[in-house]
Structure 1
Amino acid sequence: MRKIIAITQVTLDGVMQAPGGPEEDPSQGFTHGGWAMPFIDDTAGQVIDEIISREFDLLLGRRTYEIFAGYWPHHDDNRIGKAFNRATKHVVTRRLDRLDWKPAQRIGGAVEDEIRRLKASEGPEFHVWGSGALLQMLMSADLVGEHRLWVFPLVLGSGKRLFEAGVPPRRMALVETRSTPSGVLLNTYRPAGPVKTGSVALPASPAKKSVRSAKTPR
């Protein structure tokens, strides 16, 4: 069984859109592209090195694949570029008939069934970077085995969010947390079952206490 790991950069208000640069995803009038970059420091770089040092495949949506394919093949001298270029890219798309950034495999048709089949096969873990629409589907199908959330200390107020309406309620178990000097929280969560609810047991007010005292036999 292959684990699907979502590695997502989010703001305090949950925005995940275009952390890497102004031209990454300006759709819906988004003007804050590149918001994560001022916070990337040596500690964050060390964590990225740890992530990419292991064998992995990439599971990407079409838009993220196209962004990556336009950049990383030209940066094979970069440690991230080497790892991404080496990894097999599994791309969810109904538009692209040809995938030029190799090695790559297209996932179309019955996407959820195909991803379940891949997840059950032998091979390295899957890393999902970005790919917001794909993540919504994966979370709805309960296919994400681990969330590595990089929570950045800023609020944007608008933009595409990781946990959009329609994602089923779930508890998450915090299994690891780290922080960087720039204030980024690097939290790792795993699904922990359905949501549990409860209520706060409020103490009785003084008036009610006095009424009970008056009725108490002496």
Structure 2
Amino acid sequence: MGLIHIEMFATLDLVGQAPGGPGEDPDGDFPFGGWQAPLLDEVSGAQVSDAYEGTDALLLGRRTYDIFAGYWPDQASDEDQDFANLFNRIPKYVASRGTPELSWAGSSLLGPDLPAAVREIRERHEHVTVVGSLNLVQTLLREKLFDRLDLWVHPIVLGVGKKVFDGGAVPTNITLLEPPVAGKLGTVLLRYGLADGTPATGDMSAPDRGLSR
């Protein structure tokens, strides 16, 4: 069974809406489209590149797919050529409530039973990468259909916008896979893996913790 890795960019208050550009997702009159751009540096850029190593399929929501399909097929700059070669070569699976025309070569529309479709993709590929696609990500989190969550937390607070965990989240244990690494501008990569069970509770004043009064 293959692995599903989620690549997610969020603010300190966990807003994940429209990090890439002003027109990416204006829902709710979101005024901060493109908030990630001023916080990119060499460290976070290298982390993003490394996160795609071994990827043999993309899993995208409709809005992210449209953005990618409008950019990567014609991208020829030296700086982005490795991404363009990868994205244009591998299969793209798209989650959508509608029936869009998918013109980007190698693109397929997932069926209406999204969890079942994702499980089928998992059997077909070794490393499926999910990029952006906030609504899709929330479904994967609820269904626990992921193996790794790469969460880049950026040092800003927006106060408005769609959040990574925005309603319908289920109790889930996750484990930190490696020490957090921060870029020069303060963006921190938190790399988590899905863990077994559900969150436990305890008593911080218990005698064995040395906190009792």
Deviation per residue, 1:16-52 (Å, 9 max, x gap): 0010111111111101011111111111221222223
Q: Does residue 191 of the first structure (1) align with residue 194 of the second (2)?
A: yes
Report the 3-state secondary structure (helix = DSSP H, G, I; strand = E; otherwise coil) of the residue aligned with 2:136: helix
* Residue 73 of structure 1, CA deviation: 1.6
Where does residue 71 of structure 1 map in the other structure? 71
Distance 1:141 1:53, change over 3 A: closer
Where does residue 215 of structure 1 map in the other structure? none
One-letter identity of the residue aligned with 2:148: E
Where does residue 131 of structure 1 map in the other structure? 133
Distance 1:55 1:200, change over 3 A: closer
Where does residue 109 of structure 1 map in the other structure? 112
One-letter identity of the residue aligned with 2:202: G
Task: Specify which of 77, 84, 89 is matched with residue 86 of structure 1.
Answer: 89
Where does residue 44 of structure 1 map in the other structure? 44
One-letter identity of the residue aligned with 2:212: P
* Residue 153 of structure 1, CA deviation: 0.5
One-letter identity of the residue aligned with 1:10: A
Q: Do 1:16 and 1:160's aligned partners in 2 also have CA atoms closer than 8 Å?
A: yes
Deviation per residue, 1:109-159 (Å, 9 max, x gap): 22211211221x242311111111111111111101110000100100010
Task: Give the ranges of 4+ consecutive aligned residues of structure 1 lying more than 3 Å apart after TM superposition.
Answer: none
User: In 2, Cα distance between the equivalents of 1:25 and 1:182?
Assistant: 25
Task: Specify which of 153, 158, 169 is matched with residue 160 of structure 2.
Answer: 158
Q: Do 2:95 and 2:110's aligned partners in 1 also have CA atoms closer than 8 Å?
A: yes
* Structure 1 spans left out of the alignment, 5+ residues: 205-218
Where does residue 29 of structure 2 map in the other structure? 29
User: In 1, Cα distance between the equivalents of 2:75 and 2:116?
Assistant: 34
One-letter identity of the residue aligned with 1:200: M
One-letter identity of the residue aligned with 1:203: S
Where does residue 208 of structure 2 map in the other structure? none
TM-score normalised according to structure 2 size: 0.90
Q: Do 2:55 and 2:129's aligned partners in 1 also have CA atoms closer than 8 Å?
A: no
State the Cα RMSD in Å.
Answer: 1.5
Q: Do 1:52 and 1:83's aligned partners in 2 also have CA atoms closer than 8 Å?
A: no
One-letter identity of the residue aligned with 1:65: Y
Report the 3-state secondary structure (helix = DSSP H, G, I; strand = E; otherwise coil) of the residue aligned with 1:108: coil
Distance 1:189 1:71, change over 3 A: same
Q: State the structure with more CA Rg.
A: 1
Q: Do 2:10 and 2:164's aligned partners in 1 also have CA atoms closer than 8 Å?
A: yes
Where does residue 12 of structure 2 map in the other structure? 12
Q: Do 1:94 and 1:108's aligned partners in 2 also have CA atoms closer than 8 Å?
A: no
* Structure 2 spans left out of the alignment, 5+ residues: 206-210
Where does residue 178 of structure 1 map in the other structure? 181
TM-score normalised according to structure 1 size: 0.88
One-letter identity of the residue aligned with 2:88: N
Distance 1:76 1:104, change over 3 A: farther
Report the 3-state secondary structure (helix = DSSP H, G, I; strand = E; otherwise coil) of the residue aligned with 1:127: strand
